[in-house]
C-alpha cells in the first residue's frame, strides 16, 4: 500500500503522518496568530494532504530544494502558503523557528506564497495557473526520461477559472501519467460556500468527463490518500486527480467547517487551538 523509504522519500506510515499533520496545524496556528487573522482555515484544512505528500509520497531533498530528481509540488492557491511553509520547515528545508517570520515585512514567506522562498516551485496566487505549470513540468520531465512526478494542489473555487480546464484538457491530450492533481474540495471561497457562489455540481464527474483517472476521497483520511497516490502511480494512461473532501479549519473545533476565507484568530482562540492540537 505505502511506499518504501529511500534517502529522499520518508514514506512514513499513517500513524506517523497523523502526528506530522498535527505538527503542521500547530505551526499554522502559531504563524497566523501574531497577525490575528489569515488563511488559517486553508492551512489547517490541507495539513493532511501536505503531510502525506512531503512525509510519505514525494522524493525530496530538504538540503537541496532544487534537486533535479525531486518530485514537484505546486501550490496553485498560493494563499495556502502558511501550510506549505509549515511543511517545508517540518521537512527540514529551513529551521521551524524561521516560521515566525511568516508575513513579516521583508520575509520571503509572503502571505501569498512566492518562489522567493526556496522550495516554492512557482508563484501561483493568481488562480488557475498551477495545473498548467504542472503540465509543462510533466511534459519536460517525461521528455528527459525523468522518473520524477508532479503534484498540484488546486482549490475547488479555483476550478471556476477557465484555464483550469485548458490545463485539464491538455494533460489528458498529452497522456501525462506523471501528473497528479489534488482538488481541495473545502466548499469555500471568498464570497462564501463554493456551492452557493458558483455551483459546479458533481466535481468528480467533471474530471472524469475530461478523461482523468478520478479518485474521490476524504482529504483527511491518510490511509485513503496513500492508497490514492499508489493508484495514481500505477495508472499509466494519463493524469490522476484526487477529489479530496476537506473541512476548512480541520482540527480546531472553533474553526472547523467555518467558511471564512481570511479567518479571525484572536489570541484566546489561538491559545485554545494550540491546546486542542497538543495531542
Partner 1 sequence: MRAPVTIAKSGAVWRESTPIASKAYGRALLALAEADPRIVCLGADLTGPTETDLFRDRLPDRFFNLGVAEANLMCVASGMARTGDIPFVNTFGVFASRRSFDQVTLQIAYPRANVKLVGFMPGLTSPGGPTHQATDDVAMMRALPGMVVMEPACATHVAPMLAALVAHDGPAYMRIKRGDLPLLFTAETCPPIGKGQVVRRGRDGWILASGVMVTLALEAMEMLAEQGIEAGLVNLPTIKPLDVALVAELAGEGKPMLVAENHSVVGGLGSAVAEVIAESGHALPFGRLGVEDVFAEGAGAPFLFDKYGLSAGAIAGRFATLSARNRGMSPVP
> By the criterion CB under 8 A, which residues form the site for partner 1?
115, 121-126, 128-130, 132-141, 143-144, 162-163, 166-167, 169-170, 173-174
Task: Quote the least distance from Cβ 132 to partner 1, whole Å.
Answer: 3
Contact 113, 60 (CB under 8 A): no
Q: Which C-beta is closer to partner 1: that of 162 or that of 279?
A: 162
Q: Which C-beta is closer to partner 1: that of 61 or that of 276?
A: 61
Q: Which C-beta is closer to partner 1: that of 57 or that of 121?
A: 121
Task: Quote the least distance from Cβ 84 to partner 1, whole Å.
Answer: 17
Q: Which C-beta is closer to partner 1: that of 115 or that of 221?
A: 115
Strands 179-185 and 240-245: parallel
Q: Which C-beta is closer to partner 1: that of 18 or that of 112?
A: 112
Burial environment of residue 200 by CB neighbours within 10 A (0 to 12, 13 to 18, 19 or more): middle
Q: Which C-beta is closer to partner 1: that of 98 or that of 115?
A: 115
Cα separation, 57 vs 226, whole angstroms = 7
Task: Quote the least distance from Cβ 146 to partner 1, whole Å.
Answer: 8
Contact 12, 50 (CB under 8 A): no
Strands 150-155 and 37-38: unpaired
Task: Quote the least distance from Cβ 247 to partner 1, whole Å.
Answer: 30
Closest CA to 46 of 158, 168, 213: 158
Grid cell in block for residue 164: 483550469
Closest CA to 119 of 108, 107, 105, 106: 108
Task: Quote the least distance from Cβ 137 to partner 1, whole Å.
Answer: 4
Task: Quote the least distance from Cβ 233 to partner 1, whole Å.
Answer: 19
Contact 179, 152 (CB under 8 A): yes
Amino acid at each position: 500500500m505505502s511506499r518504501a523509504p529511500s534517502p529522499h522519500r520518508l514514506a512514513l506510515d499513517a500513524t506517523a503522518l497523523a502526528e506530522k499533520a498535527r505538527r503542521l496545524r500547530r505551526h499554522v496556528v502559531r504563524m497566523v496568530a501574531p497577525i490575528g487573522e489569515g488563511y488559517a482555515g486553508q492551512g489547517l484544512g490541507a495539513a493532511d494532504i501536505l503531510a502525506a505528500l512531503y512525509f510519505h509520497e514525494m522524493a525530496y531533498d530538504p538540503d537541496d530544494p532544487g534537486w533535479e530528481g525531486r518530485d514537484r509540488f505546486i501550490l496553485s492557491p498560493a494563499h495556502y502558503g502558511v501550510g506549505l511553509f509549515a511543511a517545508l520547515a517540518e521537512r527540514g528545508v529551513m529551521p521551524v523557528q524561521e516560521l515566525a517570520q511568516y508575513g513579516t515585512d521583508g520575509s520571503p514567506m509572503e502571505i501569498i506564497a512566492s518562489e522567493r522562498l526556496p522550495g516554492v516551485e512557482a508563484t501561483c496566487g493568481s488562480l488557475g495557473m498551477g495545473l498548467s505549470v504542472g503540465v509543462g513540468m510533466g511534459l519536460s520531465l517525461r521528455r528527459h526520461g525523468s522518473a520524477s512526478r508532479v503534484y498540484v494542489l488546486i482549490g475547488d473555487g479555483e476550478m471556476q477559472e477557465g484555464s483550469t480546464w485548458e490545463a485539464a484538457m491538455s494533460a489528458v491530450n498529452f497522456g501525462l501519467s506523471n501528473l497528479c492533481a489534488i482538488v481541495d474540495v473545502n466548499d469555500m471561497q471568498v464570497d462564501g460556500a463554493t456551492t452557493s457562489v458558483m455551483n459546479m455540481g458533481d466535481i468528480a464527474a467533471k474530471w472524469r468527463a475530461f478523461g482523468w483517472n478520478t479518485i474521490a476521497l476524504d482529504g483527511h483520511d491518510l490511509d485513503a490518500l496513500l492508497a490514492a497516490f499508489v493508484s495514481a502511480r500505477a495508472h499509466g494512461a494519463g493524469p490522476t486527480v484526487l477529489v479530496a473532501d476537506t473541512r476548512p479549519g480541520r482540527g480546531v473545533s472553533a474553526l472547523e467547517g467555518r467558511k471564512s476565507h481570511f479567518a479571525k484568530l484572536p489570541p484566546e482562540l489561538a491559545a485554545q487551538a494550540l491546546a486542542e492540537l497538543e495531542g
